[in-house]
Amino acid sequence: MTETFTIQIDRAEGSLQRLIGLIERRGFHIDRMTLADTGAHREVRLAIRPRDNSRSCDVLGRQIDRLIGVRRIAPAPASNAFAEEASVCPA
Amino acid sequence: MTAASPLPKAAAAPATGARLLVETLEALGVEVVFGYPGGAIMPVYDALTAARFKHVLVRHEQAAAFAADAYARVTGKCGVCLATSGPGATNLVTGIANAMMDSVPMVAITGNVASPLMGTDAFQEIDILGVTLPIVKHSWIVRDPNDIPAILQEAFYTATSGRPGPVLIDLPKDVQVSAAAAPRDFNPPLEQTRRIDPAQLRRAESAIGAAERPLLYIGGGVRIANAVEDVRAFAEATGIPAVSTLQGLGVLGPDWPGHLGMLGMHGLRAANEAVQQSDLLIVLGARFDDRATGKLTEFAPHARIIHIDVDAAEIDKLRHAHVPITGDLKTVLAALKPRKPAIETWRAQCEAAIAAHAFDYNAPGDGVYAPALLNALSQAAGDAFVAACDVGQHQMWAAQHCRFASPSAHLTSGGLGAMGYGLPAGIGAKLARPDAHVVTISGDGSFAMNIQELATLRRYNIPLKIVLLDNSMLGLVRQWQELFFEQNYSEVDLSDNPDFASVATAFGIEAFRITKREDVEAGIARLLAAPGPCLAHVLINPMENVWPLVPPGKSNTEMMHGAAR
Ligand SMILES: Cc1ncc(C[n+]2csc(CCOP(=O)(O)OP(=O)(O)O)c2C)c(N)n1
């Protein structure tokens, strides 16, 4: 049930809170998370899991996408799964 | 958003942040700001005395946000409200949430403590950006006065573009007083006309052409997209019957043949039944809200769905769309050319249902029957009628029984359902449309929530009319207790209300009372003819109920009906 997204967000005040708050409010657990600086933007990788089976990751993806300050959102390829040591936020 | 006049550039002596804020608001064409001063926003209020726009001093910041919201709904422009830090900012919160839930463009500007004090629990410091994160489309803390023009321009652009919504700008006090030597502008992104998927358009056309029982499901998005005429033309050309949500009322008038009226919890039986029978729902700027759908899994069980919305995140959120179309409604409707479906039987069936389930305005006794009064009020005011409703039974009666010439003639807190909206919304609407018959329709519970705004009416002599339907009850809650909590009436009695006519008079507002049915007609005439603000205090039966009603959580097929009391 877990899906991983890679999301580019502006390096703006509040942008990380905005993203994480949205995901939890819309009914998803955040199991893993990393944050990296890519120069112009920040890149967030998140492993998320719906709280119940009425929640769709597709719809969540579009809700994230419409946030102002989100530049790009893409499902992360399976081969790019989280390395244990990269997890800053274990479940 | 294009600026109404050139944006301010750094003058010989650089302007302060506060000055720059005022000048940028002027340049953006702002005509009215609703607000309330306090310590952390004082530099802005200092600069306001020279402003070319009007500032309306409300008596509670919540009213500033509600008035800005209604101003925006009526004009289609961005509403602006202004408050100090801490309690001023938190008082805006309900109004910001209201604008978010109903997709209303609004810019809320708050002062905050000076930047070095932020994060130290300073006097009147609240993290208002954090508090409002879930209820804004976007927000900013201004860190550099040079950013003020750019952030304001971006804020107006963000609030009004795409699916509109409220935005918040938090302005620390040091940023307001420091000089801006090199202010920068914001360059709005080039409007990308999002390509509407032609394959989906063709699928929609064939679904419409082949449908036997198609139905338009009209929502608030139609007004927001400025597509009222387009929807009317589409309904006329295709002959497809329609139902409306609370926010969709007025798109097709009540006299529109084939308009079945409001669907949902307090919708008409004809509308709810048509939805249940339909084989194709064409959803125009609506979002399957639970008050409209009832039990979702039993909603429109036979219908395929064409969902048209500017917000891609609404598609499939609650109900799967067989044909999803993301895009501006006007553009979509212009591109949609279905052949006229052969639905004469279905249309005849809908028209018969409309006639069979029409409202009955006969009620026992000689007391005032609120549905009849509201119907008569809207007829008397005609096409110039604009209702600013509060929340409760009176709100549902207004939706059911008033005639609205357009959706912006019906201002109602739909998504949030916030009591206290009516009076400040009436103020915002009347300032936006001085020519209209703007009437606040309130209940005795709701009215008390922003009753202090009678002072605002008096101060600016705003000729708003108020119909206060006083049942000495929190009526809608009482009705639910009667029906779903075994008449265990708990904390709904307001029989010790003040005499509202005297209260209004004390504020300097003309007021009179209507207690009998025979006085209604003259009362409406007096109210509408009054040159200044005027309140009609209407006493109604405390035990009156709103019918029909779908019990919460039930399917829209399970409508309850009852008699007028
Ligand atoms: C701010 C707020 N608090 C509580 C409610 C819950 N509520 C919904 S309707 C209602 C009663 C409204 O009473 P009144 O304004 O007198 O209208 P009536 O139903 O009697 O017409 C209440 C308490 C609400 N919608 N908004």
Q: What is the 3-state secondary structure (H, E, C) of B42-83?
A: HHHHHHHCCCCCEEEECCCHHHHHHHHHHHHHHHCCCEEEEE
Q: Is the pLDDT of residue A91 over 60?
A: no
* pLDDT tens by residue, B404-458: 999 999 999 999 999 999 999 999 999 999 999 999 999 999 999 999 999 999 9
Give the pLDDT confidence score for residue B4 in this predicted structure: 58
pLDDT tier, A28 (very low <50, low <70, confident <90, very high otherwise): very high
Residues with CB under 6 A from ligand 1: B 390-394, 417-420, 443-446, 469, 471, 473-477
Å between A52 CA and nearest CA of chain B: 14
Residue A39 CA, ligand 1 centroid: distance in Å: 51
Strand partners, B341: none
Residue B193 CA, ligand 1 centroid: distance in Å: 42
**Chain A residues whose C-beta sits inside 8 Å of any chain B C-beta:** 13-14, 17-18, 21-22, 25, 56, 58-59, 62-63, 65-69
Chain-chain contact of A68 with B138 (C-beta, under 8 angstroms): yes
Q: What is the DSSP letter of B416?
A: S
* pLDDT tens by residue, B97-133: 999 999 999 999 999 999 999 999 999 999 999 999 9
CB of B370 closer than 8 Å to CB of B538: yes
Atom of ligand 1 nearest to the CA of B447: 15
Chain-chain contact of B317 with A59 (C-beta, under 8 angstroms): yes
B382: which 2 tokens? 């005609």
Q: Is B122 exposed, middle or buried (0-12, 13-18, 19+ CB in 10 A)?
A: middle
Nearest to B134 among A25, A62, A66 (CB): A25
Cα(B404)–Cα(B406) distance, rounded to whole angstroms?
5
Distance in angstroms between the alpha carbons of the first and the last residue of chain A:
14
CATH code of residue A47: 3.30.70.260
Cα(B26)–Cα(B184) distance, rounded to whole angstroms?
16
Average pLDDT, chain A: 88
Residue B505's alpha-carbon distances to B163, B453, B468, B500, B511, in angstroms, are 42, 13, 14, 8, 6
| Percent of chain A's residues with pLDDT above 90 | 75
CB of B22 closer than 8 Å to CB of B47: yes
Provide the 3-class DSSP secondary structure of residue B336: coil
* pLDDT tens by residue, B298-351: 999 999 999 999 999 999 999 999 999 999 999 999 999 999 999 999 999 999
CA B394 to chain centre: 16
CB of B439 closer than 8 Å to CB of B377: yes
Phi, psi of B501 (to 5 degrees): -65, -40
Element (H, E) at A57: helix A57-65
Half-sphere exposure of A69 (CA within 13 A, CB side): 19
Name every residue whose Cβ is closer than 8 Å to that of residue B190 and which is 6 or more positions away in sequence.
none
Give the pLDDT confidence score for residue B13 in this predicted structure: 76
pLDDT tier, A1 (very low <50, low <70, confident <90, very high otherwise): confident
Residue B67's alpha-carbon distances to B38, B92, B108, B453, in angstroms, are 19, 11, 12, 10
In terms of CATH architecture, what is B370-539?
A: 3-Layer(aba) Sandwich (3.40)
Name every residue whose Cβ is closer than 8 Å to that of residue B423 and which is 6 or more positions away in sequence.
B63, B388, B390, B440, B442, B447, B450, B451, B453, B454, B464, B466
Q: Does B311 touch chain A (CB under 8 A)?
A: yes
pLDDT tier, A83 (very low <50, low <70, confident <90, very high otherwise): low
Spell out which residues of chain A touch residue B133, defining contact as CB-CB under 8 Å: 14, 17-18, 21
Q: Are strands A41-50 and A28-37 parallel, antiparallel or unpaired?
A: antiparallel
Element (H, E) at B514: strand B510-514
Cα(B358)–Cα(B529) distance, rounded to whole angstroms?
30
Cα(B355)–Cα(B358) distance, rounded to whole angstroms?
5
Give the pLDDT confidence score for residue B255 in this predicted structure: 86
C-alpha torsion sign, points B28, B31, B36, B37: positive
Cα(B464)–Cα(B459) distance, rounded to whole angstroms?
12
Q: Where are the domains of chain B?
A: 15-180, 198-356, 370-539
Q: What residue in B sits closest to A23 (Cα-Cα)?
A: B134
Give the pLDDT confidence score for residue B189 in this predicted structure: 81
Alpha helix stretches (DSSP H) within B278-392: 290-293, 329-335, 344-356, 370-381
Q: Which domain holds residue A43?
A: 3-88
Cα(B565)–Cα(B557) distance, rounded to whole angstroms?
24
Q: Is the pLDDT of residue A88 over 80?
A: no
Cα(B152)–Cα(B22) distance, rounded to whole angstroms?
10
B68: which 2 tokens? 């800005």
Residue B306's alpha-carbon distances to B223, B236, B284, in angstroms, are 19, 18, 9
In terms of CATH architecture, what is B198-356?
A: 3-Layer(aba) Sandwich (3.40)
Q: Is the pLDDT of residue A85 over 50?
A: no
pLDDT tier, B92 (very low <50, low <70, confident <90, very high otherwise): very high
pLDDT tier, B11 (very low <50, low <70, confident <90, very high otherwise): low
Q: What residue in A sits closest to B170 (Cα-Cα)?
A: A13
Q: Is B34 exposed, middle or buried (0-12, 13-18, 19+ CB in 10 A)?
A: buried
Residue B299's alpha-carbon distances to B4, B6, B97, B306, B554, in angstroms, are 47, 52, 27, 15, 10
Helix axis angle, B148-160 relative to B17-27, nearest 10°?
Answer: 40
In terms of CATH architecture, what is B15-180?
A: 3-Layer(aba) Sandwich (3.40)
Residue B447 CA, ligand 1 centroid: distance in Å: 10
Closest CA to B366 of B514, B484, B162: B514
Give the pLDDT confidence score for residue B207 in this predicted structure: 98
**Amino acid type, A76:** A
Give the pLDDT confidence score for residue B417 in this predicted structure: 98
Chain-chain contact of B313 with A66 (C-beta, under 8 angstroms): yes
Give the pLDDT confidence score for residue B438 in this predicted structure: 98
Give the pLDDT confidence score for residue A80 in this predicted structure: 60
